[in-house]
Amino acid sequence: MTKNIHFLILFILLNILEFNVNLTKSNPQPQYPCQPPHHKYKFCNKKLSISNRVHSLISLLTIDEKILHLSDNTTSIPRLGLPAYEWWSESLHGIGINGPGINFNGSIKSATSFPQVILTAAAFNRTLWHSIASAIAVEARAMYNTGQSGLTFWAPNINVFRDPRWGRGQETPGEDPMVVSSYAIEYVTGFQQLNSKADKESSNGHVFGNTRRVLKEDDDAGDKLMLSACCKHFTAYDLEKWGDATRYSFNAVVTRQDMEDTFQAPFRSCIQQAKASCLMCSYNSVNGVPACADKVLLDKVRTDWGFDGYITSDCDAVATIYENQNYTQTPEDAVALALKAGTNINCGTYMLRYVKSAFQQGSVLEEDLDRALQYLFSVQFRLGLFDGNPAKGQFAKFGPQDVCTSNNLELALDAVRQGIVLLKNDQKFLPLDKRRISTLAIVGPMANVSSPGGTYTGVPCKLKSIRDGFHRHINRTLYAAGCLDVGCNSTAGFPDAISIAKEADYVIVVAGLDLSQETEDLDRYSLLLPGHQTNLVSALAAVSKKPIILVLTGGGPIDVSFAEKDPRIASILWVAYPGETGGKALSEIIFGYQNPGGKLPMTWYLESYSKVPMTNMSMRADPASGYPGRTYRFYTGDLLYGFGHGLSYTSFSSRLLSAPNRLSLSLGKSNWKRSILAQEHSRLGYIHVDEVPSCSLSKFFIHISVTNDGDMDGSHVLLLFSRVPQNIQGSPQKQLVGFDRVHVPARKSVETSLSINPCEFLSFSNDQGNRILALGEHTLVLDDIEHVVSIEM
């Protein structure tokens, strides 16, 4: 009897052991330093400051071991108990598959696919942006806990969408520096710190409000990170491959004026206000110097902006210094130059291969290695990687149950709802009454693509196409691709598409772009629809019983002026790359369950703009040469749709409740100097922003009432622009100084306020790269409101 009991106990223990082994295999735990017997090292002592711990660790490393840490894929150092670590993971609009730090082969098989950034930006909703970043962060930390990711992610992309042909414009928040800066702040703060689950939501599920919770401060307190975000690509990077120019060798010639008030502005905000812990330097050169080897550029980040995170190269951007740009004589010179300039880690193997020989030649010193490692290890310590078992840490609770949650999928759906832009709606053709539709035809190859997410997409929770979103509304839906693919180089599929168009009550055509037309390493040459797509749309419009609905995919602007002018095409919607919830959101808008409220975050140019050289980096127009300038701030030519364009099913009116008429600024100088400067500034018509130390005290508010004059609830995006009082050389035609999104019930009014810092938002850069604030009457424009604020000394 006793023998049988012992056997039974042994059998049970063996089964428990086997279960735990299998559980560990399916849910591998992340490797971490400071495990016994290595936990007695000084750098494992959590009671010490991070700087002391980092210094202790660096002092224990040999030269060869230090060099091993200069690559994104660091190898283990067993004698110190340091495991291998992969720095490169991606999280642009959800956990992506691009970086080697991510795998979906464990217990977490997928992650929430939020819409591509350009569509989320079209919502103009800061709280939505923050909520998405926080949701991605929780899923990222959950994947780390299951051994499927690291803690350092290389997002967001905050380059300004300068040229409409750029293949990666889809990854950005658009063309306006203020919007891009605001997005950077919301993404980084939401991603690096844990957001409260108490985000306010309106009754219809829209995310509004601004409730947040940051990490609790303990030990080294405010420096602690949940995850690390990386602002990229620094700087003036917005060309992949156009003509003979490629991103690996392109020299971006940028004026000091454009550098200050366009290209650098988002990065400055990302570092100073969002406190990003990583910065990625770009492939291209800036004014003749490779970005990852530009000491002046990278020193500015640390000395002027106070950056204390790590700087990584874009992948192989250290190699391109020698291999593509021919900036140095040897590979050793390239790695030495990058390290001394301030690049701390190389995505790739170039530093692994050449730093040792550069050290032996004397071009790299040990202090160069130590300086790089100081920044790298500091971020890892702030992430808690050296604080023991993460299973016992602050974020140990996150796991598979926190990924692809119903809340996250609803947030992704709401992001698409808020971002979709109604470009045209003749005679209020939309929304459709589905009760009067027996047959619906859907045409276009992009309509049948599962979860069209754009670049840097991961494995979606659910594989849903745009076409799938209509099945629950209409019993009989017909589908034909029309074109074999988005390139549409053949008309062989036209007859099938025309046949179902003739049969259906209504026709929806999904046209536009996909990653075969625009992506990393691929820019466009034309702004027209690819191949025969225009012919397909027109052919369907000619045979349809009623005017058709055109749905446009893609991140870049498309010249569809033919459709804008054609009365047979009643409505046009832009959905960009909406991800796995795109079909549901689009169908809800078309059938009137949701009211579109998105606004374009970039200018839609005509095809004639494709004649402008993509390599010309100038933002300002040059009438003498016929150069039209770029973006709504400086472009002087014809366009299809302007920045901020977007229609609704209802109508809104705005009323100014209060705003100052005059602002008086004082200069921070002694009385006699102030008197001389006042006379000089009166003559010039402007003051230098850095001469106004109290400018933040001059912040003012614009109080507005927004009324929904229609019979349908809706959200209205408020865009407040400013026009300078006089034509100072290089001043923008207008510039965005504030924005907000408000939800207004039918026949109701809502009040809101916009905060304006005059030195930050009403200023621009002069030709020396210094920010100036024009004196005199600034005209603030919002919808039909114009209000003048006079600025004086």
Phi and psi angles of residue 662, each rounded to the nearest 5 degrees, phi first:
-150, 140
> Among residues 199, 258, 314, 333, which one is catalytic?
314
DSSP run (H or E) holding 537 = helix 533-543
The DSSP result for 638-675, as a single string, is -EEE-TT--B-SS-EEEEEEE--SEEE---SS-HHHHH
CA dist 207 to 131, 172, 198, 743, 750, Å? 8, 21, 11, 10, 16
The DSSP result for 570-582, as a single string, is EEEEEEES-GGGH
* Distance from C-alpha of 238 to C-alpha of 283, rounded to nearest angstrom: 10
| Contact between 686 and 728 (Cβ < 8 Å) | yes
Strands 735-744, 604-605: pairing kind: unpaired
Phi and psi angles of residue 735, each rounded to the nearest 5 degrees, phi first:
-150, 145
Residue 688 three-state SS: strand
* The two three-digit tokens of residue 472, written as one number: 């629950």
Q: Say how many CA atoms lie within 13 Å of 97 toward its Cβ.
A: 15
Strands 776-782, 662-664: pairing kind: unpaired
Q: CB neighbours of 460 closer than 8 A, spacing ≥ 6?
A: 94, 110, 111, 112, 113, 450, 451, 453, 579, 580
> According to DSSP H, which parts of 327-472 are helical?
331-341, 350-361, 366-382, 406-419
| Contact between 618 and 630 (Cβ < 8 Å) | yes
Chain centroid offset of residue 110 CA: 21
CB atoms within 10 A of CB 39: 13
Q: Which of 394, 455, 460, 384 is nearest to 151 (CA)?
A: 384
| Contact between 430 and 126 (Cβ < 8 Å) | no
Q: Which of 679, 752, 749 is nearest to 720 (CA)?
A: 752
Q: Say how many CA atoms lie within 13 Å of 356 toward its Cβ.
A: 11
* Distance from C-alpha of 241 to C-alpha of 654, rounded to nearest angstrom: 44
Rounded (5°) CA angle 527-528-531: 130
* Distance from C-alpha of 185 to C-alpha of 191, rounded to nearest angstrom: 10
The DSSP result for 593-637, as a single string, is SS------SS-EE-GGGGGS-TT----S-BTTTTB--SHHHH--S
Query: Is position 523 annotated as part of the catalytic site?
Result: no
Residue 789 pairs in a beta bridge with 778
CA dist 275 to 225, 249, 269, 319, 495, Å? 11, 30, 8, 29, 56
Which active-site residues does the annotation give?
A: 314
